[in-house]
Amino acid sequence: MAETLFAQAIEQFERASVCLDVRPSTLATLKRPKRELTVNFPVEMDDGSVGVFTGYRVHHNATLGPTKGGIRYHPGVNLDEVRALAMWMTWKCSLVGIPFGGAKGGVTVDPLTMSLKELENLTRRFTTEISVMISPEGDIPAPDLGTGPREMAWMMDTYSMHRGYSVHAIVTGKPVLLGGSLGRDEAAGRGAGITALEALALLGIAPQSARAVIQGFGNVGQGAAKFLEGSGLRLVGVSDVTGGLYNPDGISFVELMEYIKVHGSLKGFPKAEAVSNAELLEIECELLLPCAVARQITEENAPRIRTKVLAEGGNGPTTPEGERVLLEKGVFIVPDILCNAGGVIVSYFEWVQDLQSFFWSEDEVNRKLKDIIVRAFHSVLTKAKEKGVDNRTAAQALGIERVARAIELRGIYP
């Protein structure tokens, strides 16, 4: 088993590289991030004390355009994880055909333990620390685990104050009033839902007869649940950091959201049975969407997973060993770099709209998102059939190949 997330990313990269006719020197270049920054910075806390936090920003590759990637706040954030996520972002952007390279960033912190003012202090200081790496033309951050439109507004304002004028295109995932795009909040979940429906259709499973289980009820999980329920699927299982819920008769998305507004989490929701996150993954269903943290499906629990389609709404939820077990069982896997690409696709739309100061309707955003992600879905199927490989290997091969060809066309400077 790959010991770290970056080792997992490298293992996947090497498996996909076998399918490609690419120079070894190009592949060697792509195995390493272009640049990395680690910052240790002070933050004033509410009680007058000063906490010191560690943050990261990694650019994996910028051959196809500016780098793009989220900022996550989580206790488990480390340089290895950020490297892996930046690499996957490169393949993701390339796969769906948008002119971005991959980046990622984060701070090792539990945002749930901080006050609003402390979070703002941390965000503004971190933005300043990584300002040598970010710009509208070079590297554009976005929300990720533990961050959202609020943090993006603080980042945008901090960067703008240093420039002396508003720079809306410095981040995406902002509030609409500050240059955000309509449809951005639900884009990652919507994209996951669209690819999941494509997979179900391929297997001849009607949405109205499909049961869905979603692990993780943050931005991606909520967006996917809303979209899938609206498409006719029955949500029978869902979880967040407090645990899981199961009801074979279905769980209402609207009722879940109303409960969360009052109680802050899914814990104690009265219309479903409480289950653990581990038990949730093993519920029998037609569609399983892991939308939480990485490495949730492993060689140990994969034999007990009972789903027809695994749509990876989160990044790296399945280890290579776990994936081999699922493939042997005939599970159709929609890999993460395809499944959750909706977020970066609409982030690209937001960036374009900010640069033009011309904004689109939500219907136009959603229509363009669907066109791009459905086209990418079928290009992966075509590649998998052509090369006789699994969907993940095909998706990564497509992404890697496009970046590699661009590197070879550009040449080496000087």
Active site members:
104
Three-state secondary structure of 34-53: CEEEEEEEEEECCCCCEEEE
Q: Is the dihedral of CA 341, 344, 348, 354 positive or negative?
A: positive
| Tokens encoding 343 | 């977020």
DSSP character string of 152-203? HHHHHHHHHHHHTS--GGG-SS--GGGTPPTT-TTHHHHHHHHHHHHHHHHT
Residue 245 — φ and ψ, nearest 5°?
A: -130, 145
Q: Report helix angle 79-96 to 391-410, nearest 10.
A: 80
Which sign does the torsion angle of CA 226, 230, 231, 234 carry? positive
- CA-wise closest residue to 15 among 405, 388, 409: 388
Angle 9-12-17 (CA atoms, 0-180°, nearest 5)? Answer: 120
Give the DSSP H/E element, type plus range, for residue 61: strand 50-61
Strands (E), 205-327: 211-215, 234-240, 243-246, 273-275, 287-290, 309-311
Intra-chain end-to-end CA distance of the chain, in Å: 40
Closest CA to 292 of 224, 200, 389: 224
Q: 165: how many CB neighbours lie within 10 A of its CB?
A: 6
- 212: which strand partners? 235, 287
By C-alpha distance, which of 342, 228, 240, 330 is closest to 287? 228
Instruction: Give the contacts of 341 (CB within 8 A, at least 6 positions apart).
Output: 92, 95, 96, 191, 373, 376
* Beta partners for residue 42, in sequence order: 52
Which two structure tokens, joined as six digits, stand for 232? 């006719």
